[in-house]
Structure formats: C-alpha cells, structure tokens
Amino acid sequence: MASVRLGHSPDADDAFLFWGLATGKVTVPGLQFRHYVRDIETLNRWAIRGWIEVTAMSAHAYAHVWDRYDLLRSGMSLGRGYGPLVVANEKRSLKSLAGQTIAVPGRLTTAYLVLRLALADFKPLFVRYDRVMESVRDGTAQAGVLIHEGQLTYGEHGLQKVADLGAWWKRRTGLPLPLGVIGVKRGIADSTRKQIAQAICSSIVLAHRNPQEALGYAMRFASGMDDRQVERFVKMYSGPDAVDCGREGRLAVQELMKAAYQANLLRCPAKVSFVR
C-alpha cells in the first residue's frame, strides 16, 4: 500500500474539513494517508522544502512553490470581505502604524503578504500565531495580525481592531481573499493525484452533511473558543467555497499572485495551476 504524507493545521476549520479522512470514514483503496497536524508556518516550510506530498499551506507560501505543487479546487479558505485582523491596544488607523513594529504569524503566511500590500512601511516581528496577542499586550509590538481563533476572541483580551485585511482586499479587488490552499506535489501519478483530490473533496462534503459530528471533532482542536465561536469560525472558512472554490476563487489566487509580483514582493510571477 502506497503511503502519502498529508498535512493540515490544528485549526478548527481544517479539522472540520479533514474529519472524514482523519477518522477513516473516507478512504482510498491502495493508499494510506499519514496525517501530520502542525501550525501553518511549519506546513509552509515543509512545502518550501518539498518534503510533504499533500498539504494545507498559506496562499503566500504557494507563491514560492507553484513550480512544484498544484492546487486543489477543494479545501481553499476564502475570506469574503473578512480575513486576518490588525489589532492594537488602542483605537488607531492602519496608516498610523507606518514604521512601527507589528507582530505577524509567520513570514510565509498570507496575513503577512497582504499586510505588506496594505502597509509597505513597518517592522515585522515574527512570532507563532498564538503569541501575537501577547506581543501586543506586553508592548513588544505596537500592533499584531491575528489569524485563526484570534479573529473572534481579540476583544476578550482588551484589544482593538485597527483593520480587517480581508475587507481591505475586497475593496481593492472586488474578490475574496484566498488565505489557505491545499497543494499536491507534482511527480505523483496523475491517477493518484485525482484520487487524492476526490478523497479530500469527499471528506469536505461528508463534513457538510454531518456538521454536528464534524464540529465535535473540530472542537478538540479549538483553542480559546467556546462551541458557538467554533461553529461561527468554521462557517466563515469552511463553507461551500471549501467544496469547490469556483472560478472566483481561482481568480482570487491569481490576483493575489499578480499583486504580490507587481509590488516586488515576489522574484518572479507565480503561475497558478490546479489538479484537473
């Protein structure tokens, strides 16, 4: 039996999507998935190294591995007018943060890329995603960019919203913001790649058909959120778009790659391709 390494984050929306595969409710004859649950920046680095065959990764990371991975139409996290949040200890504008230190959850995260598009001049402080709020509260950084559950819980920690980067992107492009994507390494037989794509799509469809079971599994991975917040977060990033990102989702990825290249944030333009 062939073995395939499959990576996803310990975030509730990823856990929801991969519930079917992780629990063995979805299988592929002749193929065994070895699950690796790691924070998104670790998965991004693994993709950069080409170590993992199938993985969730930041759309930003894909810009650096597009020549080695193709994307799936399933499993994409799209922020439709919402996304990573810039927060601070007090009310202020995004422009007022020019030249300031901002805590960001990893060099390869989409949150960091979009912040660089929205605010060219700032000093990044790279920390784990779950340390961003702490860095802001203790004054190590003047602001921070929140991904995952922090987008819903920042107010409980006394922080104020400065800007929503998903809303900023929507105003600029009219498109949703592609945050997370799933890549499949090239070099795997086309027939196997299609089986993998179908299995992941089936896992997502199964979760949507059995939301309470899938949410129950996702809640094991939720940190700092109650049941209501977990359900809200999963609906934000694991809705119908996760089954198939559609033409709009594909355009959104292409537009993000184009914008990053035109802003000189990429050395070369990324050519976006999907498993067919």
Report the alpha-carbon distance of residue 182 to residue 196 in Å, rounded.
11
Is 148 considered catalytic here? yes
Closest CA to 197 of 76, 78, 74: 74
By CB neighbour count within 10 A (0-12 exposed, 13-18 middle, 19+ buried), where does 6 fall?
buried
According to DSSP, residue 188 is labeled: S
Cβ(219)–Cβ(230) under 8 Å? Answer: yes
Tokens found for residue 247: 């033409």
Strand partners, 258: none
CB under 8 Å, gap of 24 or more: what pairs does 89-94 form?
89/136, 89/137, 89/139, 89/158, 89/159, 89/160, 90/160, 91/160, 91/162, 92/143, 92/160, 92/162, 93/162, 93/163, 94/118, 94/119, 94/162, 94/163
Give the residue among 82, 77, 84 at the shortest CA–CA distance from 145: 84
Identified catalytic residue from 8, 60, 64, 148: 148
| Residue whose C-alpha is closest to residue 153's, from 230, 91, 221, 78 | 230
Tell me how many helices (H) and strands (E) the chain has: 13, 11
Which residues are part of the catalytic machinery? 148
